[in-house]
Structure 1
Amino acid sequence: MYESYWNLLEKPFQNISDPKFLFYGETYEEAYIRLLYSVTESKGLMLLTGEGGNGKTFVCKNFCRETRKQGYQVAFIANPDLEPIEFLQSILSEFKLEYRNKSKLELFKELENFILENAKNGSTTIIVVDEAQSISNQKTLEELCVLLNIDCIDRIPINVVLAGKPELSQTVLQVSSLHERVGLRYRLRPLNLHETGEYILFRLDKSGCQRDIFTADAVKEVYEHTNGLPRKINNICDLALLLGYGEGSIVVDKHLIKKAVEDLKGNVYSDRTVSA
């Protein structure tokens, strides 16, 4: 709607996992390096934690995309609060293996054979579990221990990434057999003020922007209301661009950011000329 007004090729602040919008700030680059290291060095289990809206899912989806390109077999489980048998079915489904009308033991054997065959061909199987803090059945987590017990002579044939909010660390701690298998962990931190400005500029640049749109005061205001969380930054900046379009603004300033924040809170300005 507002793209042509700001001379953009596309919307810069959508909450989607388009790889070209992956911002390699310091914390995200470190997370990505550790994810790759956990696979190449057969660490078995890695924990990736961070506040909601901090970009964990974005990082994980791009990690899955890149490792698939490298020939790894990768399963991404987005809604993991499942019973043990449902969890195994979900993994097999991701690998496009047959899972219907099979017992739990048959499901495990099917998955074990798949993992060992991949290892025989020189590949590692990767399972990435997003929002892992939502798993309410401890026995589902214990299934991961069973999978991590699958062994080869020279290396661990499977790598598991558990991603979730900070409380995930405590959840894993309560399952001692799983906690003992954590080979690597990393906690994503929010962007600082400088990185928030770089993030906004990066997103605009990837969308075809050829001039400064957000003022320095606007960036500071964004940071003040988001604490550097990318999802919140996206929401505020996207709406600010829409409001600026409606007002005929030349730049996005502090005033527009404040209006966007109030709008998202439900405190809609009566003088607003465009409806989101």
Structure 2
Amino acid sequence: MYEQHWQLADHPFENNSDPRFFFRSETHEAALLKMRYLIENNKGAGILAGATGMGKTYVAGMLAADLPENFAPLVHIVFPQMSSAELLAYLAVELGADEQQICGAGLDVIVRRIQQQLAAANERGQQPVILIDEAHTIDDPSVFATLRLLLNFQEQGHMKFTLIFLAQHSLLSRIRRLGELEERLTVNCLLQPFSFDETVAYIQHRLQAAGASEPVFDAESLETIFVESGGIPRKINRLADLALLVGYADDSRTISRPQAEAVAEEVAGLVSY
């Protein structure tokens, strides 16, 4: 709606995984580096943690796109609220097992199929990568115990694969209580909110990626967006997107502090309501 007014070719603040809009902040670059180290050196398992809206899934998508082709298959579990048996069955099929053989099979059969698929992948020169998104939503402690046992394949069977949890910070304390699983996590990455300078650079980067050639937000409006968003990318996107809409409605040439504040008040009202 507002693209023509701001001379943009695209929406700059969509919450999607378009690589054109990925902003390589210090915290995201560090996470990508650590995750690649974990995978490429076959270090077993790790966790990528951060607040809601920090871009964990976005980072995982960029990681997958950057990895060499031999790191496959990539299994991305986006709905982990399953029982141990359901999770193993799903994983077996995603790794390449025949779904008809898995349906209704006992755990011993499912585990054997997982072993076979991992071994077959390694024989092809591949190293599977398993991403478990929203891992903090897993309620059943036995699921974590099952995943820990799955990691035993690496030591006992000398199999190469990587397991990565994508989660909010709350998972870290839960894993500490699990003890043995914590010991298997080689790499812990914590995504930190953007600083003010990073917030400004993030907004400018996304505007430029969308085709902007002139400044859109004045300095005071950028400060307001930083304060109100806390440096969380998803919150920045929401505030900046609505500010562009308000600026379009007002026929403004730049976004001002009052406009940014009005948007922030509106968003806060929706959240509290």
Whether TM exceeds 0.5 here: the answer is yes
The CA distance in 2 between the partners of 1:240 and 1:96, in whole Å, is 47
Question: What residue number does 1:273 align with?
Answer: none
Q: How many aligned residue pairs are there?
A: 267
1:156 offset after TM fit, Å? 4.8
Corresponding residue for residue 35 of structure 2? 35
Question: Which consecutive unaligned segments of at least 5 residues does structure 1 have?
Answer: 268-276
8 A contact 1:126–1:160 mirrored in 2: yes
Paired with 2:252 and 2:83, the residues of 1 have a C-alpha distance of 53
Contact in 1 for aligned 2:145/2:181 (Cα 8 Å)? yes
- In 1, Cα distance between the equivalents of 2:158 and 2:258? 57
**How many Å separate the matches in 2 of 1:177 and 1:102?**
28
Q: TM-score, normalised by structure 1?
A: 0.91
User: 2:227 maps to what in 1?
Assistant: 224
Give the conservation status (yes or no) of the 8 Å contact 2:46–2:165: yes
**Aligned residue for 1:150?**
153
CA deviation string 1:75-94 (max 9, x = no partner): 11112121101112332343
Percent identity of the aligned residues?
Answer: 28
What does residue 242 of structure 1 align with? 245
100-109 vs 126-135, which deviates more? 100-109
CA distance in 1, matches of 2:219, 2:169: 32
Report the equivalent of 1:271. none
Tell me how far apart the structure 2 counterparts of residues 37 and 236 of structure 1 sit (CA, whole Å).
35
Out of 255, 268, 271, which is 1:252 matched to?
A: 255
Q: Say whether the 8 Å CA contact 2:119–2:159 is kept in structure 1.
A: no
Where has structure 1 moved over 4 Å in runs of 4 or more? 68-71, 152-156
What is residue 90 of structure 2 aligned with on the other side? 90
Q: Distance in 2 between matches of 1:228 and 1:245?
A: 24
State the match for 1:51 in structure 2. 51
2-structure distance, mates of 1:70, 1:125 = 8
Asked if structure 2 preserves the Cα contact closer than 8 Å seen for 1:236 and 1:260, the reply is yes
Q: Deviations over 1:40-77 (max 9, x none)?
A: 11110111111111111211122233337555211111
Tell me, what secondary structure is at the counterpart of 2:188?
A: strand
Residues 43, 183 of structure 1: 8 Å contact kept: yes
CA deviation map 1:94-114 (0-9, x unaligned): 345323232222222111111
- Contact kept? 1:44, 1:156, Cα under 8 Å: no
Distance 1:71-1:160 versus aligned 2 partners, 3 A rule: closer
Deviation for aligned residue 1:248? 0.5
Following superposition, the deviation at residue 119 of structure 1 comes to 1.3
Q: Paired residue for 2:25?
A: 25
Listed as ranges, the gaps of 5+ residues in structure 2 are none
Structure 1 pair 189/153, CA: closer, same or farther in 2 (3 Å)?
same
Deviation at 1:152, TM superposition (A): 6.7
Candidates 110, 127, 131, aligned match of 2:130 = 127
* Aligned residue in 1 for 2:173: 170
* One-letter amino acid of the structure 1 residue matched with residue 67 of structure 2: T
Letter in 1 for 2:20: K
Q: Which residue does 2:73 correspond to in 1?
A: 73
RMSD of Structure 2 on Structure 1 (CA): 1.8
Q: Select the residue among 240, 260, 265 that pairs with 1:262.
A: 265
1 CA distance for matches of 2:81 and 2:179? 19
Instruction: Determine the structure 2 residue equivalent to 1:209.
Output: 212
C-alpha separation in 2, matches of 1:237 and 1:143 = 43
Equivalent of 1:138, from 141, 157, 163? 141
